[in-house]
Structure formats: C-alpha cells, structure tokens
Structure 1
Amino acid sequence: MHMDIRQLRYFVTLAETRHFGRAAELLHIAQPALSQQIKQLENELQVELLDRSTRPVGLTSAGISLLREGREILSKVARAEALTRQESRKNGGRLVIGVTGTAALEFAVPVLRAFGKRRPNVQISLREMSSPDQLAALERGHIHIGFVRPPVEDERISIRLVHTEPFCVALPADHLQAQRDSIRLAELNGTSLVIFARDEAPGFRDLMLHVCRSAGYVPKTIQDAPQMTTMLCLVGGGFGCALVPVSARHLAIPGVVYRPLLDYSPLVELYAAWMPDKHAPFISELLDVIEKIQVSTG
C-alpha cells in the first residue's frame, strides 16, 4: 500500500467540500485529475472512501476514519514544514547584497569574511550595481541591503554611514606628473578628466567635480564612463586622469598609477541602505559585524 501526502490532501479537501468541482478549484487542478487521484487512492487502500450515489458526495465509514486521521497528519506536516522554515531562517537562508565597484574592493571583503564566520550557513549573493540601481533594487525587493554612495533621498530607505576614505588621482603611467610622489590637482590643468556618468553615480560625480573646482583644476575635456573599471581603462589608454577613492588602487590596470592628493578634499562616504518595512533577514547582524570591524580598526 502506498499513499502520498498529495493524495491525502486531495482527499481531505474533497471530503470537506463534498463536491468534486469545488475541491478541484481549491486545489488548482482539473476535476478529472482529482477524480483519478481519489480513485487511485481507493485502489491502493482497497477500500471505498466515497459514497458517490449521493449529492453532495458522501463518505463511507472508511472515508470518515481517513478524514479524521488525514486532518491530523496534514496538521503535523504543516507544523513540521513551518518549524523547518523557522530553523532555516535562524541558521541558514540567503542574503542578497548590492555593492558599488569601489566598495567591493576594500570595504566588503573583511565584512563578508566576518559575517561568514558568524553565519556559515547563510548563502551570500553579491551583486555589483551602481548606487541608483541599488536603490531601485531595494524598493523592488531584488536585494536585501545595498552599499551606496550618497545622496539617498528616498525617506523610506534607512541608511547608515559605514565607511569613509580619501580621494587619490589615477594617472596614465607616462603622464608628466606621474613621476611625482603626490600631486596637487591644479598641476593637472590641461589634462582631461575621466569621470562617472551622471546617471550612474550623480552624487559621486558632483563630489568629484566639487573637489576639482575647489583645487583649481580645470580639465581640458570631461569624458563620462559608466563604471570604475571603464574609467581606469580610459586613464590607462591616455584619455585623461581620474579622481577615485584610494580603494581603487587595488585595481591593477595596465598603464595606470595612483598618487595621493596634496589638496584638502572631503572624504568619500559609503552608506548601508535597506528597506526597514521589508524585514529582510540578517541585516541587523550584518550591521553589527560592520560596527565591530569599525571599532577594531578605529
């Protein structure tokens, strides 16, 4: 004898509704398929469960007994499934993280390593995205938390400052100023500037331009690029210099050198961003890991 949970659920639904059509509708299957499954169950048990001569459909004594036991079995199955999911959320699960390219270079690595040690059963999905794309993905529920550059103007999104770093200059290796140990931006007058496109990182772009203007740097031309690696490839190709966070130095692009700035400039800020109303898993723990790393390195 073999009776699976699906057949038992079909029978209990039919026994409670006493109507094949209604039961099939509730179960989202065709009525002939339901009839076939119930008949197969009766054949396997070698008993008649239904009195098909009445309207609504009646139950035999065997059917009444199976209904009583079936309800209890299905209740236990549902409880077991709920407890399993609860335990999975506690000890496992999945966390989808958005991150900008430069944040992934330096900030994200120790954070992910520390979080992985705390929650080894949690699957981490890391998605490199621009800040505007991350904010849109948070709203749609495509990521649980993002690490973005300001500004964040949507009041529904919670943010927390998690990392700051200074700017440096990326130069073509054959640029005259590349031989210097450190650089003032005004010394680059006449050199073209490679910078983030506005739709990719509007806040970051505005900050870069502010730093350049404040330092008296007037670029020959301005060339947009969609991503940090694209910017640095253009720099390596001799198309200009770029103002980048110091973490970009981890990108070893042929023909590119990185030099510290002598000019005063604001720090580059990175914020954690999440939707508090979506109750995404593990966010508080990830933020706690970040805070502990900041304290230990501060």
Structure 2
Amino acid sequence: MEFRQLQLFVAVAEELHFGRAAARVGMAQPLFSQQIRKLEAGLGVELLARTSRRVALTSAGSRFLDDARELLARRAEVISTVRRAAQGETGTLRVGFGASSAFGILPRIVHRFRSRFPDVKLELDDREKLDVGVALSTGDLDLAIVRAPFRHDGVTVEQLLRERFVLALPARHPRARQKAVALASLASEPFVLFPRHSAPGLHDTITSMCLGAGFSPLIRQEASSWPSVVGMVQAGLGITVAPMSAQALRPTGVVFRELNGASGWAELVVAFRGPHLMPAAAHFRMIAHETVTLARE
C-alpha cells in the first residue's frame, strides 16, 4: 500500500465516479482504475462496489476511507514537522549564560526569540559551576552568552556587546554626590564581588583595572549573582565595579556613577561549537546581534 494509492482512493470515494476522480488527480482513467485494483488486491478487500451505472463504497471501503484520510493527514503533519525542525522552527534549544549577562540585553534577546519562534523550547542554563566550554563541546549546550575573555578548544567566539564599567555604591555613600569617580580613589574602599570561578574573565578584568590604577581591590564580601552583589552594596557592605548594563537592575538605595581611569571593557560574547550552528541556534545568534544593534540606535 502506497500513500499515492490512498490519495487516489480518497478521490474516487469522494467523487464516486472513476472519470471525475481521475481528472481530479490528473491521471488517465485506465491507470487510475489499475491503481485502485492494486490497492484492493494488496489489502485483500473490496473497497468499491462497481456497476455499469454507479460506484459505491463497501462497508470495508467506508471504514477504510476514514483511516486513509487520517493516514494522509498524519503524513502531511510529519512532513511539516520535519521540515520545520530542519528550518529551526521547532525542537529544543539549550542556551547557557553567565550571571552577569542575565541583566540588560539577554532578557530582550529571549523575548524577541520567543515571539519569533514560539514552537522552539528554550532551555536556559545559568548554573554557577557549569563549565560552559565543556558543555558546548559535548553538546550539552547549543550556544552560550558569556563574558569575555572566553576561550575553549573547538568553540567559536563572536563579540556581541562591548560596554564601559560603572561604579555601584550605596546612595548614602559620600561619593554618591559625584557625577564621576576616579578608580584610583577607591583603594581603601571595601569591595563586593563575585567569586572568580563564576566568571574568571570578568573578575580578572576588574582586578586588572584596579591594579592598573595602583591598588589591589579589598574584596570583603562575595556573592554568586549580580543581584546579590548589588544587594550587598545596597546594605552598605561595600562598593562594586560592574558592566554598564547592570544599571538595568535599578535597585533602590544604589546609585551608579561614571568611572574615570578604568581602562578595561566589559565584553559579552556568543560562543558555540565549531564553525556551524544548528538552525534554531543560528536563529538565536542572529536575533542576539539584531537586538544589540537595535539597542544602540
């Protein structure tokens, strides 16, 4: 039994006339009739009762008509599903991200992706101890948005966003009245920062900037996430240096000020295995770059 034979049977069952059915599918009537008989022979069942004046469905033919329509509909559904998966419109996409990329641009990227590809199941992974490079290499992640510098064998890295650093400090801090604060003037201030293992590149960039300004930061408190870091700043436990996009958190009791003398940049990158991406990941990457471009305008 072939799907083409099912299509021919549905046509004659609906027309109840071999000539009209053959014309409907664009086939010569003798060949059409031959295919219907092959179908019946293969099933070992008479589907159509034929006389010189009329064609009628047998009881088996009536039952088979429902099944044939269901099989054809299911076939069309399967073909559509496979094609949509190949085009990156369905399936599962696993995206890793660092804690500091969770504010600012990432929520906008996710929103745009979900609105454009609602049938792709998006799984976001921000586990603190996740080795993103290994996860990309093994296929546990399809793509990641993390802070630079980021390097791992077999992983391609593209710059997504480059931004300045700002100073976050309690609103009641004496320096909160200043429009800009010199990094070198913070040598005696207690710092709140995240553990180095959670974002080594960003941690090293911040500490290197401080060393370049003539001091090693006095890290008195550590927190695993940026909201927690900012919360400690809010509580007056210290100050912190953060990417400019951290201002999107807008915490009460914390102010952000320009930072003079900070030589480094906070960079956000897209990382993925090899030179090529699966279709859904390629869509996410495209939307990420598109979202950053629109944010700059």
TM-score tier after normalising by the smaller chain length:
0.5 to 0.7
- What is the CA RMSD across the aligned residues, in angstroms? 3.1
Q: Give 3-state SS (helix, strand or coil) of 2:149's partner.
A: coil
CA distance in 2, matches of 1:141, 1:81: 28
Structure 2: runs of 5 or more not aligned:
1-41, 44-67
User: 1:112 aligned to 87, 105, 110, which one?
Assistant: 110
Q: What are the equivalent positions in structure 2 for 1:145-294 lying under 5 Å apart?
A: 145-276=143-274, 280-294=278-292
Question: Could you tell me how far 1:144 is from its partner in structure 2?
Answer: 1.5
Question: Could you tell me how far 1:193 is from its partner in structure 2?
Answer: 1.4
Q: Give 3-state SS (helix, strand or coil) of 1:238's partner.
A: coil
Task: Provide, for residues 160-182 of structure 1, a one-character-per-residue CA deviation record: whole Å limited to 9, x for no partner.
Answer: 11111111111122222122122
User: 1:124 aligned to 111, 122, 125, which one?
Assistant: 122
Q: Contact (CA 8 Å) 2:94, 2:141: kept in 1 or not?
A: yes
In structure 2, what is the equivalent of residue 99 of structure 1? 97
Question: Could you tell me how far 1:191 is from its partner in structure 2?
Answer: 0.9
Q: Give 3-state SS (helix, strand or coil) of 1:266's partner.
A: coil
The 1:135–1:81 alpha-carbon spacing in structure 2 relative to 1, beyond 3 Å, is: farther
Structure 1: runs of 5 or more not aligned:
1-64, 67-72
In structure 2, what is the equivalent of residue 27 of structure 1? none
Code of the residue aligned with 1:141 in structure 2: it is G
Code of the residue aligned with 1:209 in structure 2: it is T
Which 10-residue stretch deviates more, 201-210 or 276-285? 276-285
The 1:178–1:82 alpha-carbon spacing in structure 2 relative to 1, beyond 3 Å, is: same
Question: Could you tell me how far 1:127 is from its partner in structure 2?
Answer: 2.7
Question: Could you tell me how far 1:272 is from its partner in structure 2?
Answer: 0.5
Task: Provide, for residues 26-55 of structure 1, a one-character-per-residue CA deviation record: whole Å limited to 9, x for no partner.
Answer: xxxxxxxxxxxxxxxxxxxxxxxxxxxxxx
- The answer to whether the aligner puts 1:83 opposite 2:79 as a matched pair is yes
Code of the residue aligned with 2:167 in structure 1: it is V
In structure 1, what is the equivalent of residue 133 of structure 2? 135
Task: Provide, for residues 123-152 of structure 1, a one-character-per-residue CA deviation record: whole Å limited to 9, x for no partner.
Answer: 322233459533333234332211011233
Code of the residue aligned with 1:161 in structure 2: it is Q
Task: Provide, for residues 213-235 of structure 1, a one-character-per-residue CA deviation record: whole Å limited to 9, x for no partner.
Answer: 22234544543332212222222
Question: Could you tell me how far 1:78 is from its partner in structure 2?
Answer: 11
CA distance in 1, matches of 2:234, 2:115: 38
In structure 2, what is the equivalent of residue 33 of structure 1? none
Code of the residue aligned with 1:258 in structure 2: it is F
CA distance in 1, matches of 2:113, 2:83: 19
Q: Give 3-state SS (helix, strand or coil) of 1:258's partner.
A: strand
When normalised by structure 2's length, the TM-score is 0.66
| Percent identity between the two aligned chains | 27
When normalised by structure 1's length, the TM-score is 0.66
Task: Provide, for residues 191-243 of structure 1, a one-character-per-residue CA deviation record: whole Å limited to 9, x for no partner.
Answer: 11122212111111110001112223454454333221222222222221111
Q: Contact (CA 8 Å) 2:167, 2:240: kept in 1 or not?
A: yes
CA distance in 1, matches of 2:73, 2:130: 44
CA distance in 1, matches of 2:93, 2:105: 17
CA distance in 1, matches of 2:262, 2:229: 23
Code of the residue aligned with 1:128 in structure 2: it is D
CA distance in 1, matches of 2:268, 2:127: 14
Q: Give the count of matched residue pairs.
A: 229
